[in-house]
């Protein structure tokens, strides 16, 4: 066990790596600025690029003695129109526009190839197609297995290979493409901690990837489709964590609905004790400016007030001009928000009663004891991470130390609200566990002599998901 940095705030920061943050000094600076988890976006870059960045992360982790989580974000199926013979075309409102599978013939102002038979198979008259991130909107008038006749509802310029969204339609597509399967296997060989699955529409998408992962990484369901929101409860039951991917969600659903959906997802994840990340455009202006807009700062703060486990930076840290400043700014917003007395009031007011099971009962009791005794720290001794996640669910006032003998578990816990993951050795009995917990709390600076800590664990040790022990100890 080594002494590591203490995070001064509970909510975590996920920072995406890219061309602007590919060297060792920048990545280390991002960690020191507040990054807890790094996202490797497999929509961009080569396997060699991602391996190099992961190697740097692990080297920095060893030097700093701080478990760092790594999230592999799979690209998922990308639906796009084909190419146009004479360059960009203008679609005029009210005009007819045809989409079909004829990729041999390039598009023009009246038609375009769309090489996705799955879309045509799912379309019905009245369905809508959104092109180029929702900038253009088409209404389906007639469709078949290889074509769709549409009317342009919102016109504009359309160019080669722009994206296609089909809101309100569950497409007969797996969330895993051939590229995703190759990326997934590659990431698992590297020891990735979390897998973010794009294009989730139904719980079966999560089941499919879990069968491949076999517990080697946690699964993050990216919620970016209306179909996923409709199946939210079933998806949350299957996944390990969630990302509120507001970019595509804001394309496929009216923008005014996204804030309420975000709050609903965060609330449900908190109730279930599953980490939730709020993502997309949080500090977007910092891609090119050294400071965010006031609206962006408020956006981040809102996610923190709601109790999100983590907030995420995308282009801000991957390709922007100010990656370190963006992480530092997000960290300051979190610190200031969590220092607001109304933050604690909001967290306590939105706290929900746990489920009627032993693990939740122990975590709920630990929170109650911590409140009564004003403990210095709460310790979850955990093999799988379950005890620490249940304790995190309670959103206690005292800091949480997630003690684990498994390095992979420590790294995954870097994503969880309030959890300070610490790698320790295996313990043989309750007495040794208590001694190690007390020593860890003191050495890491969470507790001083004479203060009280609360310890939750599962017996027998090493058996995942068996939180059934609560112990109170004094630091001597």
- Find residue 377's DSSP bridge partners: 453
* Whether residue 273 sits in one domain with residue 298: yes
pLDDT score for 5: 56
State the distance between the two ends of the chain, measured CA to CA, in whole angstroms: 19
Q: Tell me if 234 sits within 8 A of 254, measured CB to CB.
A: no
Buried b (16+ CB within 10 A) or exposed e, 57-83: beebbeeeebbbbbbbbbebbebbbbe
In a domain, 97, yes or no: yes
Query: C-alpha 440: how far from its chain's center?
Result: 29
280 is annotated as an active-site residue: yes
> Do the domain assignments include residue 450?
yes
98 and 202 within one domain: no
Of 104, 135, 165, the last residue of a domain is 165
Catalytic residue among 12, 137, 202, 222: 222
Domain co-membership, 329 together with 365? no
Q: Which residues contact 194 (CB under 8 A, 6 or more apart)?
A: 37, 69, 70, 71, 72, 217, 218, 219, 220, 240, 241, 412, 415
Identify the DSSP state of 107. B
* Predicted local distance difference test score (pLDDT) of residue 466: 74
Q: What is the CATH number of the domain that holds 100?
A: 2.40.33.10
Give Dmax over CA atoms of the chain in angstroms: 79
What domain range is 125 assigned to? 89-165
| Whether residues 273 and 182 fall in one domain | yes
CB atoms within 10 A of CB 19: 12
- Segment 363-392, tens digit of pLDDT: 888 889 888 898 999 999 999 999 999 999
CATH of the domain at 212: 3.20.20.60
Q: Note whether residue 292 is domain-resident.
A: yes
How many domains does the chain fold into? Answer: 3
Q: Which residues of the chain have pLDDT under 70?
A: 1-7, 465
Residues 463 and 318 in one domain: no
372 membership: H or E segment, kind and range: helix 358-373
Note whether residue 155 is domain-resident: yes
For the chain, give percent helix, strand, coil, nearest 5. Answer: 40, 25, 35
476 neighbors 455 (Cβ within 8 angstroms): no
Q: Are 163 and 80 in contact (CB under 8 A)?
A: yes
**Phi and psi at residue 79, in whole multiples of 5°?**
-95, 125
Residues 308 and 282 in one domain: yes
Q: Is 200 a member of any domain?
A: yes
Contacts of 273 (CB under 8 A, 6+ apart): 360, 389, 390, 392, 393
Are 52 and 199 contained in the same domain? Answer: yes
- Which of 57, 124, 3 is CA-nearest to residue 401? 3
In this structure, the answer to whether residues 217 and 296 fall within a common structural domain is: yes
Give the pLDDT confidence score for residue 355 in this predicted structure.
84
* pLDDT at residue number 64: 94
C-alpha dihedral over 196, 200, 202, 207, to 10 degrees? -30
Which one of 7, 12, 16, 39 is the catalytic residue? 39
Q: Are residues 266 and 387 in the same domain?
A: no
CA 375, CA 58: separation in Å to the nearest integer?
33
Whether the ω angle into residue 460 lies within 30 degrees of 0, i.e. cis, is yes
Q: Please report whether residue 191 resides in a domain.
A: yes
Residue (of 203, 243, 205, 210) closest to 224 by Cα position: 243
Same domain? 118 vs 149? yes
Which of these three, 285, 302, 337, is where a domain ends?
Answer: 337
Average pLDDT, the chain: 94
CATH of residue 469 = 3.40.1380.20
Last residue of a domain, one of 165, 190, 221: 165
Catalytic residue among 66, 150, 239, 280: 280
**CA–centroid distance for 72 within its chain:** 10
Reported as a single tens digit per residue, the pLDDT across 294-347 is: 999 999 999 999 999 999 999 999 999 999 999 999 999 999 999 999 999 999
365-400 burial by CB neighbour count: b if 16+ within 10 A, else e?
A: ebbebbeeeebbbbbbbbbbbbbbbbbbbbbbbbbb
- The alpha helices in 65-192, defined as continuous H runs, are 117-122, 178-190
39 counts as catalytic: yes
Question: Are the CB atoms for 467 and 26 separated by under 8 Å?
Answer: no
Q: Angle, nearest 10°, between helix axes 386-393 and 358-373?
A: 60
Q: How many CB atoms lie within 10 A of CB 133?
A: 13
Catalytic residue flag (residue 80): yes
Please state, in angstroms and rounded to a whole number, the distance separating the CA atoms of residues 20 and 79. 28
Contacts of 423 (CB under 8 A, 6+ apart): 1, 67, 404, 405, 407, 410
The yes-or-no answer on residue 397 being catalytic is no
Tell whether 386 is covered by a domain.
Answer: yes
How crowded is the C-beta side of 476, counted as CA atoms within 13 Å?
A: 5
Q: Does a structural domain hold residue 353?
A: no
The CA angle 188-191-192, to the nearest 5 degrees, is 75
- Do 333 and 194 belong together in one domain? yes
**What percent of the chain is predicted at pLDDT more than 90?**
85
Whether 198 and 298 map to the same domain: the answer is yes
Which residues fall within 8 angstroms of residue 155, CB to CB, at 6 or more apart? 90, 91, 92, 93, 95, 136
**DSSP letters for 250-262:** HHHS-GGGHHHHH
In the set 5, 32, 80, 179, the catalytic residue is 80
């Amino acid at each position: 066990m080594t002494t590591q940095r203490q995070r001064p705030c509970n909510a975590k920061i996920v920072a995406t790596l890219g061309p602007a943050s590919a060297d060792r000094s920048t990545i280390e600076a991002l960690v020191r600025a507040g990054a807890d988890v790094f996202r490797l976006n497999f929509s961009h870059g080569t396997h060699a690029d991602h391996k190099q960045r992961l190697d740097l992360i692990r080297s920095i982790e060893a030097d700093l003695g701080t478990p760092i989580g790594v999230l592999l974000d799979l690209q998922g199926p990308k639906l796009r129109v084909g190419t146009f013979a004479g360059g960009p075309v203008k679609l005029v409102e009210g005009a007819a526009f045809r989409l079909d599978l004829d990729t041999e013939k390039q598009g023009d102002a009246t038609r375009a190839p769309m090489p996705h038979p799955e879309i045509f198979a799912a379309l019905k008259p009245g369905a809508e197609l959104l092109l180029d991130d929702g900038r253009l909107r088409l209404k389906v008038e007639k469709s078949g297995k290889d074509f769709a006749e549409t009317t342009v509802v919102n016109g504009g310029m359309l160019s080669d290979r722009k994206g296609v969204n089909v809101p309100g339609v569950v497409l007969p597509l797996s969330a895993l493409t051939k590229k995703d399967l190759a990326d997934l296997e590659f990431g698992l060989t590297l020891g990735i901690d979390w897998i973010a699955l794009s294009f989730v529409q139904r719980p079966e998408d999560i089941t499919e990837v879990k069968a491949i992962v076999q517990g080697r990484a946690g699964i993050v369901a990216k919620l970016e489709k209306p179909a996923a929101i409709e199946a939210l409860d079933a998806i949350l039951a299957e996944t390990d964590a969630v990302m509120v991917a507001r970019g595509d969600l804001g394309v496929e659903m009216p923008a005014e609905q996204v804030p309420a959906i975000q709050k609903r997802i965060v609330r449900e994840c908190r109730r279930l004790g599953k980490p939730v990340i709020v993502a997309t455009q949080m500090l977007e202006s910092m891609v090119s400016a050294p400071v965010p807009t006031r609206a962006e700062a408020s956006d981040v703060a809102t996610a923190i007030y709601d109790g999100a486990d983590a907030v995420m930076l995308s282009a801000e840290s991957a390709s922007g001009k100010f990656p370190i400043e963006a992480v530092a700014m997000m960290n300051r917003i979190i610190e200031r928000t969590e220092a607001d007395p109304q933050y604690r009031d909001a967290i306590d007011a939105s706290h929900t009663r746990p489920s009627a099971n032993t693990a939740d009962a122990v975590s709920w009791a630990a929170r109650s004891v911590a409140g009564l005794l004003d403990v210095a720290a709460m310790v979850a001794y955990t093999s799988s991470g379950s005890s620490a996640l249940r304790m995190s669910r309670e959103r206690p006032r005292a800091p949480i130390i997630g003690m684990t003998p498994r390095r992979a578990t420590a790294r995954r816990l870097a994503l969880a609200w309030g959890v300070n993951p610490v790698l320790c050795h295996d313990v043989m009995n309750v007495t040794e566990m208590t001694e190690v917990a007390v020593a860890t709390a003191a050495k890491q600076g969470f507790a001083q002599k004479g203060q009280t800590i609360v310890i939750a664990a599962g017996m027998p040790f090493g058996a995942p998901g068996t939180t059934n022990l609560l112990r109170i100890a004094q630091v001597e």
